[in-house]
Amino acid sequence: MSELKPEFKEKLLKLKALNKWKRNFNTDYPEAKKDYGYNNEAISFENFICMSFDFSSTPEGYDFWRNISLK
């Protein structure tokens, strides 16, 4: 099990999106159970968000997550 990379966690907290991110990640990858190892290898925050889950299948929608990824 791995913790979320600190800089990604801090950015999600700052954007008030951490809980939403966790909910969607755990919905798309229930077997992961907080194992963020693969996502932690992302080269940028944008890449990290984009590889986390299918934006259009979330309650927030595509535009919300695309905007978050660009911040």
pTM across the whole model: 0.87
Mind listing the pLDDT tens digit for each residue in 16-54? 999 999 999 888 777 666 677 788 889 999 999 999 999
Residue written as token pair 């992961």: 32
* pLDDT average, residue stretch 7-24: 96
Residues 6 or more apart from 56 whose CB is under 8 A from it?
A: 62
Query: Which stretch of DSSP H or E encloses residue 24?
Result: helix 18-28
Rounded Cα–Cα distance for residues 11 and 7 (Å): 6
Extract the tokens encoding 58.
């979330």
CA angle 41, 47, 49 (to 5 degrees): 100
Secondary structure (3-state) at 11: helix
